[in-house]
Amino acid sequence: MNRFRARLIFFAVLFVVAATAVTARLFIVQVLRGPQFAARSRSQSQQRCILPANRGAIYDRNGRVLAACTQSDLSLTDDLLGAQEPDNKSLQRIKRVYPLQEAAGPLVGYIGKDGYGLGGVEFSFDKQLRGEDGWTMVSRDGRNQRYRKIGMPYKEPRSGSGVYLTIDAEIQKIVYSVLKQSVEAQKARGGRCVVMDPVTGKILAMANEPSFDPNFPGRFSLDQRQNACISSIYEPGSTFKLVNAAAALRENIIKERDILDGDNGVYKIYHETIRDHEPFGRLTFAQAMAFSSNVCFAKIAKEVGADRLFRCTQDFGFGERCGIALPGEECGILHPVRSWSGRTLVTMGIGQEISVTLLQMMAAYAAVANNGIIVSPLICEKIVTDDKRLIEQPSVKPVRRVLSEETARRLCLMLKMVVDSGTGRNAGIKNIAVAGKTGTAQKLEGGVYSRTKSWASFFGFLPVENPVLLCGIVIDEPADNLMGGTAAAPVFRKIVTQIISQPGLEYAEKILNNRAMPGRGTAGAGNVLAGVIAQTPAVIDSAAINGHNGMRPVPDCRGRDARDAINMINIHGLVPFVIGAGVVERQSPPAGSMRETAHACTLICSFGG
């Protein structure tokens, strides 16, 4: 009996202890740690999901799409994007489409897999384009399937803003097409070009060759993705003589008709020799600019002096960034006067011992065309919300006056002489007053200037009296050591001629309304238009030229003079390629067929083909 009672007490105590332990555990789980376990339960059955915002689109100044997101993960073939897939024909899963492809790759940029901008406009305006992601709470059932309960908290995503650029898509395509063809024809290492409005500083086109397709950025090297127009520096050569001349004129050191001795193209200084591309005797200051005499401009630099030349160079913005809203802009190299050697003054006067970007040179020439006022280059026209409400509209920003109106006008006339009778004759356009300057700069190799590698450049604007277009071209290492007048100036003429001949652009009308030639009024401007875009006495039907869906009809050029045929091809929005000269006998594609804008049209003429 006692043994039974002892067992009963033992089990009773054991039961009490176990019950106490269970109760304590339940108290801990349900009361003390209840909220913690409830939160853990919710984390396993509920999840916060990100609702990605729609990235804003990038447009040109007329509202043409330069970059946009698809509505969903859209499967696009390479043919649709205009690219080639050499290895396979599998579909690409993409979310961002760039219609201009290589024509604007370095300018527009691209995005990474995480949706952030990684270059160009995509990077600069990433904050505005990206918008703000939203979120929502979803639950999971026993089969691990997610569903959303009514009443669960959420936040709607805010779509990114639309960014309108100052770029004109049509001009951008023209510039890239001509630049690419010219680089290939000259067997050059590369090239770059910028077109801008010299009065407002708005960039109308900015192209690089080689370029890259932002639809498939991984296929291209990092160098190809860089915007060389702002990130690559070079010695400007004779195009920098503009600054030397500006310093001499504004300090009243020399006048256009003053005589300089060219010393037959040889000038020795500090045991080194400065040479001209051909021997010159006595030249006026204006002739020295027109014929690009290194000897004469070395002497002018000595008269200007180190301090005044340095100050003028700084005033034109060299040695500092232009401040354009694009990533990777370099400030160039401008050494302080205290570090100059004995020859720096004269060599800098002819464009050596200083490094610049293409955009810096554009700003300097724009200042001369703009009556002596430097303006900050603009790339953004406006930023709007998803429902088209205006958020921001950058205004034209005059930086400072570097020249008086009189000095700027005198420089314009000197630059006009360069195109009329000097080294820039290949940039001339019939019946339109063009001003500009050629440049050829030898590259440095191991501290010595190369005899075979150079930069060839040309900067020009038109019309001289009231400029509306400024275009700058730099060709990197053209074959046969071509100079600025033979390598870059013809590219300028091709680009500008196509721009002012393009039916959808307003520049022919602007040139007519702004006194394209000195001394001509509006009545005389009709002859200018005839010289630029005329191809036949008959009136051309604009509807027939414009076509539809981006396609243009190929005109019938057979039997026409080559010059008229070229103008006819240009005004139809196509790109002429002439073989021979004289009268056109054959053409390809055939007349009446439809081709995309900027498609090449080959004209085979009566002799020379």
| Interval 332-350 mean pLDDT | 93
Contact 569, 549 (CB under 8 A): no
Digit-coded pLDDT (tens) for 488-520: 999 999 999 999 888 778 877 777 665 433 333
In whole angstroms, what is the distance from residue 111 CA to residue 119 CA?
7
Band (93; pLDDT cuts 50, 70, 90): very low
Q: Give tens-digit pLDDT for 227-237.
A: 999 999 999 99
* Mean pLDDT taken over the chain: 83
pLDDT in tens, 404-431: 999 999 999 999 999 999 999 999 998 8
Q: How far apart are CA 238 and CA 442, in angstroms?
A: 11
Residues contacting 300, CB < 8 A, separation 6+: 244, 245, 248, 253, 254, 260, 285, 288, 349
**What per-residue confidence (pLDDT) applies to 469?**
95
Give the number of other Cβ atoms within 10 Å of residue 88's Cβ: 7
What does the block give as tokens for 563? 């010059």
Distance between CA 378 and CA 363 in Å, rounded? 11
φ/ψ of residue 79, rounded to 5: -60, -40
Q: Which of 46-60, 75-89, 298-312, 401-415 has the lowest mean pLDDT?
A: 75-89
Query: What average pLDDT does this structure show over 556-583?
Result: 76
Alpha-carbon gap, residue 373 to 399, rounded angstroms? 7
CB atoms within 10 A of CB 386: 15
β strands within 390-434, DSSP E: 390-392, 398-401
* pLDDT band with cut points at 50, 70 and 90 for residue 351: very high
Helices (H), 316-404: 344-348, 358-369
Residues 6+ apart with CB under 8 A from 95: 69, 70, 73, 74, 115
Range name among 193-207, 428-442, 582-596 with the lowest pLDDT average: 582-596
What's the confidence (pLDDT) of residue 9? 79
238 has catalytic annotation: yes
- The residue from 124, 159, 238, 501 that is catalytic is 238
pLDDT of amino acid 449: 85
Least confident stretch, 120-134, 229-243, 553-567: 553-567
Please tell me the distance from the alpha carbon of residue 345 to that of residue 458, in angstroms, as a whole number: 23
Exposure string of 149-173, with b = 16+ CB inside 10 Å and e = fewer, is: eeeeeeeebebbbbbbbbbbbbbbb
Decide the pairing of beta strands 203-209 and 190-196.
antiparallel
pLDDT, mean of residues 548-566: 78
| Cα separation, 395 vs 349, whole angstroms | 34
CA distance linking residue 205 with residue 404, whole number of Å:
29
Contact 368, 408 (CB under 8 A): yes
Q: Could you tell me which residue, 167 or 534, shows the higher pLDDT?
A: 167
